[in-house]
């Protein structure tokens, strides 16, 4: 998107030998290890890497936004002046005025207690000394610039009254309020739905054309890099391992890590189960209604139809991908089918009708119907050893096992998910996100289930780790003829995992069919939007 003047690019920001250290209980951790990065006027630079690569901390250090236990050394020169040596008041004349920043968390990055208008006017008044009415005019202009509908009304809105995409637009408006030289965008779309992601990226591109600022994209998403960046820095464990023009870097990656990143998209596809494969789990006209508000003297409650008469048939050895944006009801559907939520309609497991089964009746079936969650950090009890975590279900479902037999099963389950059996004596916090997700999978697998609902099992993981988890899940499916209900908003992963896809929106099925068909010929407009929004991050796969 950059239109940098190729003849004489003026370097406006240069990071020289930057080091960032954090004092932690385990001693000093060096997050950034002496890196060099430069940003020219008007260009788009991407800093790419997986979590823990130091890409965010580099820019946090430049903006003096490190947490209190962090310390930066080296140089971050903005137009010849070292930001790291500025006094706070000097720095506050640069931050928000010459260099501004937007963040990954649109939901929490705005102050929940003030109106949008108030928050927008504040940086304008501070940096330009405008009167309140003049700043208000400016704020309105900015809201129009970022295409917020009905800006007059929105000035009076509070952040919680807006969607994530709109809040990110407001963040962008605030960041651009004083026409900065550089906009640092730290994973600006990661927390948003795919269709919204695309809109925000388009907006940034459009604003860059209009306003001509340089953009520094901090991202793990190579699709964004490929599409928008002029130059790229690839970071790994606090170091820049490769840098160069985006085109050249994608065409001919030099460093093994860059090549690994580029190949990290999950690949392959799943063949459908044989036609005579029996239906294991079936839902007919499943309906989940949430009651909001109401109660004692509370008036009429609001009824929210989260799942609206949906029918699903999951066969043995089949993977159904359930796709949709946040709030589409896909997770609710998964939970309803496992009878973890009260629902209307018919649900059958094997040849049993479990629509009316209560907790007591469901308990023996639970071992065959397992669930793996998105959050590998929150779903494992921090006070239990991994061994205790994964064998807990055995206590309920196979109480006759001796401690020794349970331990043996734990060893087998851990081996099966590719972890060292010694892991069972350690605690969850000692493991990385990917390893924890393996532990969560082992906890489900130890019970030898027939159906596993996987609720965004890879969404919190880095791409390269995602690919490993996808491969693990596939292997487990092949070994045990498992049936998966794979809930995800990530089309690349769903495409690799599922043989059948259901697209959901607002509690309803928009479209369903075999994976290949859905991807090749999406019939519904919504599916097409979803595909188009996601396609850029899946198309660039290069042959290594």
Partner 1 sequence: MLRYVFRRLLTAIPTLFVIVTVAFFLIRVAPGGPFNQERGLSPEIRANLEAQFGLNDPLWLQYVHYLGNLLRGSFGPSYNLPDFTVTELFAKGLPISVQIGTSALVLALLLGSILGTIAALNQNKLADYSVIALATAGSTIPTFVTAPVIQLVFGLSWKLLPIGGWGDGALINKVGPVLTLALPQIAIVARLMRGSMIESLRSHHIRTARALGLSDWSVVVKHALRGAVLPIVSFTGPAAAALLTGSIIVETIFSIPGVGRYFVDAALNRDYTLVMGTVVVIALFTIVFNLIVDLLYAVVDPRVRYD
Contact 17, 36 (CB under 8 A): yes
d(CA 341, CA 344): 10
Q: How far is the CB of 310 from partner 1 (least distance, A)?
A: 32
Report the nearest approach of partner 1 to the CB of residue 296 (Å).
8
The DSSP line for 6-50 is: SSSPPEEEEEEEEEEEEEETTEEEEEEEEEEEEEETT-EEEEE--
User: Rounded to the nearest whole angstrom, what is the least distance from the CB of residue 93 to partner 1 in the complex?
Assistant: 7
Name which of 103 and 228 has its Cβ closer to partner 1: 103
Query: How far is 485 from 331, CA to CA, in rounded Å?
Result: 10
> Closest approach of Cβ 65 to partner 1, in Å?
6
Closest listed residue to residue 439, CA positions, set 424, 450, 452, 451: 424
The position carrying tokens 């960032």 is 20
User: Judged by CB, which is closer to partner 1: 185, or 498?
Assistant: 185
Tokens found for residue 404: 């020794």
Nearer to partner 1, 82 or 252 (CB): 82
Smaller CB separation from partner 1, 161 or 353:
161
Which positions ≥6 away from 105 have C-beta within 8 Å? 191
**C-beta closer to partner 1: residue 89 or 360:** 89
Cα separation values, 172 from 42, 99, 129, 299, Å = 17, 12, 20, 40
Phi-psi sector, 481: left (phi>0), alpha (psi -120 to 50), beta: left
Interface contacts to partner 1, rule CB under 8 A: 63-65, 67-68, 88, 91-97, 100-101, 103, 105, 108-115, 122-123, 126-127, 158, 160, 171, 174-175, 296-297
Which CB, 116 or 337, lies closer to partner 1?
A: 116
d(CA 225, CA 208): 15
312: β partners? 283
Shortest spacing between CB 383 and partner 1, in angstroms = 23
**Which residues in 181-296 belong to E strands, given as ranges?**
182-186, 214-219, 231-236, 239-245, 279-292
* Helix, strand, coil % in the chain, rounded to nearest 5: 40, 25, 35
Nearest of 431, 435, 454, 433 to residue 444 by alpha carbon: 454
Q: Nearest distance from residue 517's CB to partner 1, in Å?
A: 42
User: Is residue 55 within 8 Å of residue 224, measured between CB atoms?
Assistant: no
**What's the min distance (Å) between Cβ of 446 and partner 1?**
38
Please say whether the beta carbons of 239 and 50 come within 8 A.
Answer: no
Q: Which residue's structure tokens are 């640069």?
A: 94
Q: Which is nearer to partner 1, 182 or 333 (CB)?
A: 182
CA distances (Å), 111 to each of 67, 128, 136, 157, in order?
Answer: 19, 21, 18, 12
Q: How far is the CB of 15 from partner 1 (least distance, A)?
A: 17
501 C-beta neighbours (distance < 10 Å), count:
26
Cβ distance to partner 1 smaller for residue 12 or 492: 12
318 three-class SS:
coil
For partner 1, the closer CB: 67 or 543: 67
CB of 72 to partner 1, least distance (A): 15
Between 183 and 410, name the residue whose CB sits nearer to partner 1: 183
User: Token digits for 141?
Assistant: 């202009």
Closest CB to partner 1 among residues 56, 391: 56
In angstroms, give the least distance from the CB of 125 to partner 1.
10
Q: How far is the CB of 102 from partner 1 (least distance, A)?
A: 8
């Amino acid at each position: 998107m950059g239109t940098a003047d190729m003849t004489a690019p003026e370097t406006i920001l240069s990071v020289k030998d930057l080091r960032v250290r954090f004092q932690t209980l385990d001693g000093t951790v060096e997050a950034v290890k002496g890196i060099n990065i430069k940003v020219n006027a008007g260009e788009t630079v991407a800093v790419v890497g997986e979590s823990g690569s130091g890409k965010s901390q580099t820019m946090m250090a430049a903006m003096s936004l490190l947490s209190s236990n962090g310390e930066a050394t080296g140089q971050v020169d903005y137009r010849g002046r070292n930001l790291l040596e500025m006094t706070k008041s000097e720095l506050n004349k640069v931050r928000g005025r010459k260099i501004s920043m937007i963040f990954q968390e649109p939901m929490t990055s705005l102050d929940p207690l003030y109106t949008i208008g108030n928050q927008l006017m504040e940086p304008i008044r501070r940096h330009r000394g405008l009167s309140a009415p003049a700043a208000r005019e400016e704020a309105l202009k900015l809201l129009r610039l970022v295409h917020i509908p009905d800006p007059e009304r929105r000035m009076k809105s509070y952040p919680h009254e807006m969607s994530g995409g709109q809040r990110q637009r407001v963040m962008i408006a605030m960041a651009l309020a004083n026409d900065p030289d550089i906009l640092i965008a730290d994973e600006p779309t990661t927390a948003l739905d795919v269709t919204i992601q695309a809109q925000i990226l388009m907006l940034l591109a459009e604003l860059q054309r209009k306003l001509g600022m340089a953009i520094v994209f901090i991202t793990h998403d190579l699709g964004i890099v490929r599409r928008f960046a002029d130059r790229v820095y690839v970071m790994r464990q606090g170091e820049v391992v490769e840098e160069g023009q985006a085109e050249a870097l994608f065409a001919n990656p030099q460093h093994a890590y860059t090549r690994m990143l580029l190949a990290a998209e999950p690949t392959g596809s799943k063949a459908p189960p044989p036609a005579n494969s029996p239906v294991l789990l079936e839902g007919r006209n499943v309906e989940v209604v949430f009651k909001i508000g109401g109660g004692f003297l509370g008036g009429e409650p609001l009824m929210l139809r989260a799942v609206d008469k949906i029918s699903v048939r999951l066969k043995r050895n089949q993977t159904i991908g359930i796709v949709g944006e946040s709030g589409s009801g896909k997770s609710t559907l998964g939970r309803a089918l496992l009878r973890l939520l009260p629902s209307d309609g018919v649900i059958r497991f094997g040849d049993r009708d479990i629509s009316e089964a209560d907790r007591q009746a469901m308990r023996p079936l639970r071992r065959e119907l397992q669930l793996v969650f998105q959050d590998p950090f929150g779903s494992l009890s921090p006070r239990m050893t991994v061994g205790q975590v994964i064998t807990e279900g055995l206590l309920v479902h196979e109480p006759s096992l001796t401690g020794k037999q349970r331990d043996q099963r734990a060893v087998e389950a851990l081996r099966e998910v590719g972890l060292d059996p010694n892991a069972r004596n350690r605690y969850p916090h000692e493991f990385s996100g990917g390893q924890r997700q393996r532990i969560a999978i082992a906890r489900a697998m130890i019970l030898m289930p027939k159906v596993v609902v996987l609720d965004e099992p890879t969404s919190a993981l880095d791409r390269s780790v995602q690919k490993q988890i996808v491969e693990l899940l596939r292997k487990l499916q092949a070994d045990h003829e498992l049936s998966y209900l794979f809930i995800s908003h990530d089309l690349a992963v769903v495409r690799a995992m599922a043989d059948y896809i259901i697209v959901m929106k607002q509690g309803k099925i928009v479209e369903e069919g075999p994976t290949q068909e859905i991807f090749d010929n999406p019939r519904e407009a919504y599916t097409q939007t979803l595909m188009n929004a996601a396609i850029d991050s899946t198309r660039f796969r290069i042959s290594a």
